[in-house]
Protein backbone atom coordinates (compact mmCIF):
# COMPACT_ATOMS: atom_id res chain seq x y z
CA UNK A 1 0.00 0.00 0.00
CA UNK A 2 2.99 2.31 0.49
CA UNK A 3 5.44 1.10 -2.16
CA UNK A 4 5.30 -1.67 -4.74
CA UNK A 5 8.66 -2.85 -3.37
CA UNK A 6 7.06 -3.71 -0.05
CA UNK A 7 10.10 -5.68 1.16
CA UNK A 8 11.97 -2.38 1.43
CA UNK A 9 9.28 -0.61 3.48
CA UNK A 10 10.23 -0.66 7.17
CA UNK A 11 7.69 -2.24 9.48
CA UNK A 12 5.59 0.43 11.13
CA UNK A 13 5.88 3.03 8.37
CA UNK A 14 2.61 4.97 8.43
CA UNK A 15 0.24 5.82 5.62
CA UNK A 16 -3.49 6.38 5.83
CA UNK A 17 -4.09 3.97 2.95
CA UNK A 18 -2.24 1.11 4.64
CA UNK A 19 -3.89 1.93 7.98
CA UNK A 20 -7.35 1.75 6.42
CA UNK A 21 -6.58 -1.37 4.36
CA UNK A 22 -5.21 -3.36 7.30
CA UNK A 23 -8.05 -2.28 9.59
CA UNK A 24 -10.72 -3.26 7.06
CA UNK A 25 -8.96 -6.56 6.24
CA UNK A 26 -8.72 -7.38 9.95
CA UNK A 27 -12.40 -6.52 10.40
CA UNK A 28 -13.59 -8.72 7.52
CA UNK A 29 -11.44 -11.64 8.66
CA UNK A 30 -13.82 -11.96 11.63
CA UNK A 31 -17.45 -13.06 11.65
CA UNK A 32 -20.12 -10.48 10.92
CA UNK A 33 -21.41 -10.06 14.52
CA UNK A 34 -17.85 -9.24 15.62
CA UNK A 35 -17.14 -6.60 12.96
CA UNK A 36 -17.52 -3.56 15.21
CA UNK A 37 -15.19 -4.96 17.89
CA UNK A 38 -12.78 -6.22 15.24
CA UNK A 39 -12.73 -2.79 13.58
CA UNK A 40 -11.86 -1.05 16.85
CA UNK A 41 -9.25 -3.69 17.74
CA UNK A 42 -7.79 -3.52 14.24
CA UNK A 43 -7.29 0.22 14.61
CA UNK A 44 -5.71 -0.22 18.05
CA UNK A 45 -3.38 -2.97 16.82
CA UNK A 46 -2.38 -0.66 13.97
CA UNK A 47 -1.50 2.03 16.51
CA UNK A 48 0.60 -0.54 18.39
CA UNK A 49 2.39 -1.40 15.14
CA UNK A 50 3.11 2.22 14.24
CA UNK A 51 4.22 3.26 17.72
CA UNK A 52 6.32 0.19 18.58
CA UNK A 53 7.47 -0.74 15.07
CA UNK A 54 7.37 -4.33 16.31
CA UNK A 55 5.34 -7.22 14.92
CA UNK A 56 5.90 -9.06 18.20
CA UNK A 57 4.10 -6.26 20.06
CA UNK A 58 1.09 -6.65 17.75
CA UNK A 59 1.04 -10.40 18.28
CA UNK A 60 1.26 -9.92 22.05
CA UNK A 61 -1.55 -7.35 22.02
CA UNK A 62 -3.80 -9.67 20.01
CA UNK A 63 -2.96 -12.66 22.20
CA UNK A 64 -3.67 -10.64 25.34
CA UNK A 65 -7.02 -9.52 23.93
CA UNK A 66 -7.95 -13.11 23.08
CA UNK A 67 -6.85 -14.34 26.52
CA UNK A 68 -8.93 -11.71 28.33
CA UNK A 69 -11.91 -12.41 26.10
CA UNK A 70 -11.54 -16.14 26.76
CA UNK A 71 -11.43 -15.55 30.52
CA UNK A 72 -14.51 -13.33 30.29
CA UNK A 73 -16.37 -16.01 28.34
CA UNK A 74 -15.44 -18.71 30.85
CA UNK A 75 -16.56 -16.52 33.80
CA UNK A 76 -19.84 -15.33 32.32
CA UNK A 77 -20.80 -18.30 30.03
CA UNK A 78 -21.49 -15.89 27.15
CA UNK A 79 -20.54 -18.39 24.45
CA UNK A 80 -21.65 -16.06 21.68
CA UNK A 81 -18.35 -14.21 22.01
CA UNK A 82 -16.37 -17.36 21.18
On average, the pLDDT of the chain sits at 91
What residues have CB less than 8 Å from 45, skipping those under 6 apart? Answer: 26, 58, 61, 62
For 42-66, the pLDDT digits (tens) are 999 999 999 999 999 999 999 999 9
3-state class of 10 per DSSP? Answer: coil
How much is the pLDDT for 2?
A: 84
Residues present in the chain in total: 82
55 touches 11 (CB < 8 A): yes
Q: Where are the domains of the chain?
A: 6-81
For the chain, counts of helices (H) and of strands (E): 3, 0
pLDDT confidence bin for 13, thresholds 50/70/90 = confident
How much is the pLDDT for 25?
A: 96
**Sign of torsion over alpha carbons 56, 58, 63, 65:** positive
When pLDDT is averaged across residues 73-80 and rounded to a whole number, the result is: 86
pTM value? 0.82
Amino acid sequence: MIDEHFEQVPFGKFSWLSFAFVTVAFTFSHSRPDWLAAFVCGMLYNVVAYRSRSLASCILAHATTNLLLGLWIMQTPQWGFW
